[in-house]
Amino acid sequence: MSVSILGGGAFGTALAVAIGQQRPVTIWARNPETLLSTRQSPRLPGVSLPDAVTVNPNLKAALGADVILFSMPMQSLTGFAEQIEDGLTGKALVACCKGIDLNTLRGPTDILAQQWPDATAAVLTGPSFAVDIANGLPTALTLACRDDQLGIKMQEQLSTRALRLYRTVDVTGAELGGALKNVIAIACGACIGQGLGDSARAALMTRGFAEIARLAQHLGADPSTLAGLSGFGDLVLTCTSEKSRNYRFGQALGRGETFDDDTTVEGVKTAAAVTALARKLSLEMPICEAVQNVSQGASVTETIQSLLNRPLKEE
């Protein structure tokens, strides 16, 4: 099975570095100049692509692979997919983005499946910072594919000695865990940024997990997926590490500081999408709604106070 990665940002480059330790892989980027000239991505400085990685600026050629990984921000996926005319029949399309599309309220595999009904859509997600993967540190991810036979083949192709893929057929659970943990990470960053302490963060993580489970199970996810790498695992990582862009964005909100506009922070648009989705489905998701409000400029102090003022209830 040949493998291509579309997207030359931090995650796409890290995956190319990891997979390229064991087998040939192609990476395509819309602005490939630096990758071509230095074999490093400006989004992941200091890490060089191994010889087994081909940088191919020709998208059509990259689309010829059997397995195609889509490694770009969630809100770019629809626009990117719509410009590709190829039917990609019979190919395995693996979404590597974490989020919910704000216009359609769909996850990445739905978007891929709608654009390419004759291909199989899957998702690769879980607790992993690009820099850790690229440095060869041990990492475990979830590969979710409804076609388990294809999932088994991809698991073998994409795993390396350090990058260990676990498999599931629960695409909905894997995708929603990865999308929503970014929203809760913003809340946790804001909590720490405001100086509210580790106990308050633990409360937000736990009640945030309850919100993730509420929405995901309503949409058919298996609770065991949510307790796994793509849910609980990624929630723990992202809510506790300053390597996370979502967490750092939340910290900046909590401290009343500005944040670099050019940094990918998936949780902001996902908070808006999930708030809309929860309203549509009549589900209560107060922490996600709070993140949406503070991202839109509401006071962090007042928003936290209104969470604390909610009626007492059973856990």
Ligand X SMILES: NC(=O)C1=CN([C@@H]2O[C@H](COP(=O)(O)OP(=O)(O)OC[C@H]3O[C@@H](n4cnc5c(N)ncnc54)[C@H](OP(=O)(O)O)[C@@H]3O)[C@@H](O)[C@H]2O)C=CC1
Ligand Y SMILES: O=C(CO)COP(=O)(O)O
208 binds ligand Y (CB under 6 A): no
140 phi, psi to nearest 5 deg: -125, 130
Amino acid identity at 115: Q
Q: Which residue number has the CB closest to ligand X?
A: 9
User: Closest CB to ligand Y among 12 and 127?
Assistant: 127
Report in angstroms how near the CB of residue 310 gets to ligand Y at its nearest. 27
Choose one: 18-26, 153-161, 193-201, 243-251; the region binding ligand Y (CB under 6 A): 243-251
Among 56, 159, 225, 244, binds ligand Y (CB under 6 A): 244
Among 75, 159, 230, 246, binds ligand Y (CB under 6 A): 246
Q: Which residue has the tokens 């209830």?
A: 313
Footprint of ligand X on residues 80-109 (CB under 6 A)?
80, 96-99
Which residues touch 302 (CB under 8 Å, ≥6 apart)?
none
Q: Which residue has the tokens 């990685």?
A: 53
178 is in an annotated binding site: no
Choose one: 72-80, 124-132, 187-195, 306-314; the region binding ligand Y (CB under 6 A): 124-132
Whole-number Å distance between alpha carbons of 74 and 3: 21
The two counts, helices (H) then strands (E), for the chain are 15, 8
Among 156, 123, 183, smallest CA distance to 22 is for 156
Alpha helices for 159-299 (secondary structure H) = 171-193, 198-218, 223-226, 234-240, 245-255, 266-280, 286-295
- The count of residues interacting with ligand X (CB under 6 A) is 26
Contact 163, 69 (CB under 8 A): no
264 binds ligand X (CB under 6 A): yes
User: Closest CB to ligand Y among 245 and 269?
Assistant: 245
Report in angstroms how near the CB of residue 6 gets to ligand X at its nearest. 7
Per the DSSP assignment, residues forming a β-bridge with 164 are 140
Helix (H, G, I), strand (E, B), or coil: what is residue 163? strand
Q: In the complex, which residues of this chain contact ligand X (CB under 6 A)? A: 7-12, 29-31, 43, 71-74, 76, 79-80, 96-99, 128-130, 264, 266
Q: In the complex, which residues of this chain contact ligand Y (CB under 6 A)? A: 98, 127-129, 182, 185, 234, 237-238, 244-246, 266
